Amino acid sequence: MPTSNETTVLIIGAGPSGLAAGLTLAQNGIPIRIIEKATEFHKSSRGSGLHPRTLEIFRFLGVAQDARRLGGPLMPMQLYKLPGGTQPVRQWKIWDDVPITPDRPEDSLALSQYVTEGIFRDHLLKHGVHVEPGAEAVGLEQDPAGVSVSVRHAGVEEVEIIRCAYVIGSDGARGFTRKAIGATFEGQTKDGDGQAWTDVEAEGISSDLWHIWAEPGKFTVGMRPKKEPGQFHLVIGGVNFDPVGLTEPSKFAEAFYELTGRRDIVFKNFTGLSYWKPKIRMVNKMSEGRVFICGDAAHVHSPTGGQGLNTSVGDAFNIAWKLALVCKGLASRDLLSTYQTERLPVIAHMLAATEDLYTHITISQTDDGPASSGPESTGFLKWRNNAFRQLDINYRWSPVVLDARGMNGLDENALKARGYQGYPGEPVRAGDRAPEAPALVDAAGEETSLFDIFKPNTHTVLVFSPKQAESKAQEVVAAAQASPLASVTKTLVLGRDGVPAAIEGASAYHDKEGHAHKAYGVDGGVLTIVVVRPDGYIGAFVNDVDGLQTYISRITSGFA
């Protein structure tokens, strides 16, 4: 007879999205289990680019320091002339250098996906959560009170029934969960193309450059150094070029030698060989009842722009804080519907952008270097769309965001159309990413920053308070303390001219260098309230207690 066990949230799939969702829920004190069909954790370097927004999320989750310690910068690319493969043609960077500013403090980072996953597993252990490998979901039934998932464990005949309140499916494009909720996977597969990937140890070539060999309009061979000397991530792929059958070390090596001419390079210790056919697909829905899907289970695309892992983590962070509030009984279940409402438009525009970039994975006959198209132009292995950094993703159309100033007259469709590319250069509004602001000083002279305060288990109420509005600031703090979200709310009172007067229930800081007022577009002479959600997005931009209470009621009581 099947065994039966209970948990609050079951996560199916232990890739980046499942692990990020799991850590967010664990930090919220929600009981979880994470099961993984594979019997052992993979060791391949897929998904090795972490973009600035993802690193901000990692910071909120407490894993950024480990990621920076184990990762490194993206090396410059160097193209070699064919045939021969030894004469350098030019060097360039796949990304432009990011201007680091007080409100946008992160740059991109190279870190192999298996290392990222290991970091998350280590942090989950601190919360008593162990990923369970060799556990495959084979059945799922929902009812009004919860979900029953049938799980088959490797080497065990008996099926386990896991009873849970909710399920997050992060089990990939071929996984069980997407099919279980009846979601379609709409899009296309590049049938004439293919890519073969491997990690390899190599001798006879520098670890200081990302080496590229390419034949115009056909194939590209890329050899990206990993952090460890002599270790590389190697890809053979192209357009109308299909390197099928290269999942054996000898065949992969021979194809590399034939295409590049570089038989002086000695390979050994191939690991994680895989073959992949580019797909551009997304689901028509990201949830059904109590089951939610994220990551590759909901969208797949070419590696151009490096959006896969980063978008998947964004999915996970969005749904997890909402589930946490609902599981704690602090929010209406209406809140869960906003996961799909917020993420689907972003994903659709992200897929369009990466598909547009796909043709640039091979060099063209006319591409003779950066000078031919200008340094800001997208070209062969040059990703020049700033939206790929994901700092401008926003949810201005969401029914749970509130901006007292309105949305510049734009309707819902117009807002969704800019959900991925955002509004660069414009002041922030509700629904936008909450900017960083350093140099916040308290009465004891201790300095901190907003990103050190934002946490995935807390709403943060920022009260920008001029001296003449101290009584109104007290009213706001009192309202925050009296709200249904009081137990998961932290309130900061920020002053431009000094540390504001102490208010019980709030922390007071001097915005010493004005970074917070500038980043949030706040007039220092007007009381302004900004509510930052647990996922680091602005939930509300209001001017009084009524506005604050309206936002909170949308979270706690619903918005239908």
pLDDT in tens, 391-444: 999 999 999 999 999 999 999 999 999 999 999 999 999 999 999 999 999 999
The reported pLDDT for the residue numbered 301 is 82
What's the average model confidence in pLDDT over 518-530? 93
The reported pLDDT for the residue numbered 278 is 84
Q: What is the pLDDT of residues 281-319, one digit of tens each?
A: 999 999 999 999 999 999 998 777 889 999 999 999 999
Looking at every residue in the chain, the average pLDDT score rounds to 93
Residue 493 in tokens: 């009172």
Helices (H) and strands (E) in the chain, counts: 14, 28
The reported pLDDT for the residue numbered 375 is 40
Residue 216 in tokens: 């115009």
Cβ contact 318:346 at 8 Å: no
The reported pLDDT for the residue numbered 541 is 98
How far apart are the C-alpha atoms of 479 and 550, rounded to whole Å? 11
Q: Selecting from 3.40.920.10, 3.40.50.2000, 1.10.3720.10, 3.30.9.10, what CATH number does the domain 72-110+191-277 have?
A: 3.30.9.10
Residue 62 has pLDDT above 90, yes or no: yes
- Residue 548 corresponds to which amino acid? L
User: Where exactly are the structural domains of the chain?
Assistant: 3-67+111-181+286-356, 72-110+191-277, 402-557
Residue 372 has pLDDT above 50, yes or no: no
120: burial class by Cβ within 10 Å (0-12, 13-18, 19+)? buried
What's the average model confidence in pLDDT over 17-22? 98
Q: Is the dihedral of CA 25, 313, 271, 277 positive or negative?
A: positive
How far apart are the C-alpha atoms of 135 and 153, rounded to whole Å? 4
Residue 374 has pLDDT above 80, yes or no: no
Q: What is the pLDDT of residues 215-228, one digit of tens each?
A: 998 999 999 999 88
Tell me the pLDDT band of 1, cut-offs 50, 70 and 90: very low
How far apart are the C-alpha atoms of 421 and 411, rounded to whole Å? 17
Q: What is the pLDDT of residues 63-100, one digit of tens each?
A: 999 999 999 988 999 999 999 999 999 999 988 888 89
Backbone angles phi, psi at 332, to 5 degrees: -70, 150
Q: How far apart are the first and last CA of the chain?
A: 43
The reported pLDDT for the residue numbered 3 is 64
The reported pLDDT for the residue numbered 369 is 46
Q: What is the pLDDT of residues 269-286, one digit of tens each?
A: 999 899 988 888 999 999
The reported pLDDT for the residue numbered 523 is 86
Tell me the pLDDT band of 127, cut-offs 50, 70 and 90: very high
Residue 368 has pLDDT above 90, yes or no: no
Tell me the pLDDT band of 366, cut-offs 50, 70 and 90: low
Any idea which of 29-38, 352-361, 395-404 has the lowest mean pLDDT?
Answer: 352-361
Q: Is the dihedral of CA 390, 391, 396, 399 positive or negative?
A: positive
Longest dimension (CA), the chain: 76
Q: Which residue has the higher pLDDT, 558 or 483?
A: 483
Looking up tokens 């009581």 gives 557
Share of the chain above pLDDT 70, in %: 97
Report if pTM > 0.85.
yes
The reported pLDDT for the residue numbered 188 is 86
Same CATH fold assignment for domains 3-67+111-181+286-356 and 402-557? no
Of 296, 302, 254, 246, residue with least CA distance to 274: 246
CATH code of 3-67+111-181+286-356, in short, is 3.50.50.60
How far apart are the C-alpha atoms of 490 and 477, rounded to whole Å? 10
What's the average model confidence in pLDDT over 4-9? 89
Tell me the pLDDT band of 365, cut-offs 50, 70 and 90: low
> In this structure, which topology does domain 402-557 adopt according to CATH?
Glutaredoxin (3.40.30)
The reported pLDDT for the residue numbered 98 is 80
The reported pLDDT for the residue numbered 376 is 46
Cβ contact 260:253 at 8 Å: no
Tell me the pLDDT band of 4, cut-offs 50, 70 and 90: low
The reported pLDDT for the residue numbered 225 is 93
DSSP state string for 45-106: --S-EE-HHHHHHHHHHT-HHHHHHH-BPPPPEEEE-TTTS-SEEEEE-SSPPPPPBTTB--
Tell me the pLDDT band of 190, cut-offs 50, 70 and 90: confident
Cβ contact 383:304 at 8 Å: yes
